[in-house]
Amino acid sequence: MKMKTERREIPSLLKKVLTTDVHLTDAFVNQTERFLPLRQIKIYYKFLEVSGHGLLWLSGWLAFIWIANNKNLYQMQVNLLIGLLFDILTVAILKAVTRRRRPSDNKNSFELGPDKFSFPSGHASRASLITFFFFSIHPVSSVFILTFFSWTISICLSRILLRKHYFLDIICGISLGIMEGFFINMIYLKRATCVEFVSWITDEKLDGGEFHV
């Protein structure tokens, strides 16, 4: 006996919003491709794609904590690590729930699981979270701030021009990243807690322990 698969009913207002989003995104990309040498700059789009990948940021940040091995950095490092983990988990859940397909022109066999869906943009949320973190929570030099803002804007535009996302995916991704930043600011862990956490994950005694490495 064949089981009938029930399709979700999308409210008419939401359907109109999504349809408009698709048309606006498609029109923007088509017009932009008339003036930009897409093939020549596609390699830069790919670089931006890699630079905002969640798993690369997570593994790279863990390596940074390990290699730097600086107690003065642990508070900043651990709190951003929590933010990255929270972002990856939140985006994965939202994608699994909304299940919005990526633009039809986008074909990538390496996108599996929730990542094959487009809403919200994980790259946009992650870049926005990181920029917010270093702008508001752990302020850095204005030179780096400008770099972070430029990087975030470039990533968001590249995700649209690569036909990975629609406008609404990007807008909601940016909003999500900012909200995650406010959340991390609210729960910001103290220095002693962060030192203990690093001691636990590295299996080292850092302050007053039985041994020092």
The answer to whether the beta carbons of residues 103 and 164 sit under 8 Å apart is yes
Distance CA 72, CA 195 (A): 9
Please tell me the predicted confidence (pLDDT) of residue 21: 92
Query: Does residue 138 carry a catalytic annotation?
Result: no
Considering 23, 53, 123, 138, which one is annotated as catalytic?
123
Q: For tokens 């302020």, what's the residue?
A: 139
Q: What is the mean pLDDT of each run of 10 residues along the chain (213 residues)?
A: 58 86 92 76 84 92 92 95 96 93 64 70 96 95 93 94 93 98 96 91 57 41
* Residues 16 and 147 sit within 8 Å (Cβ to Cβ): no
Calpha distance 141→121 (Å, rounded): 27
pTM of the model: 0.84
The tokens for 100 are 């919005």
Query: Which member of 23, 53, 138, 165 is catalytic?
Result: 165
Q: 101 in helix, strand or coil?
A: strand
* 123 catalytic per annotation: yes
**3 state SS of 45:** helix
Query: Residue 139: its pLDDT value, please?
Result: 93
Distance CA 188, CA 194 (A): 10
Which tokens in the block code for residue 81? 């690590």
Concatenating the DSSP letter of every residue in 105-129 gives T---TT--GGGGB-SS-HHHHHHHH
171: left (phi over 0), alpha (psi -120 to 50) or beta: alpha
145 forms beta bridges with: none
Largest distance between two CA atoms of the chain: 67
Cα 4 to Cα 1, 7, 11, distances in angstroms: 10, 9, 21
Specify whether the CB–CB gap between 67 and 82 falls below 8 A.
no
φ, ψ dihedrals at 151, nearest 5°: -65, -45
CA distance 204 to 16: 56
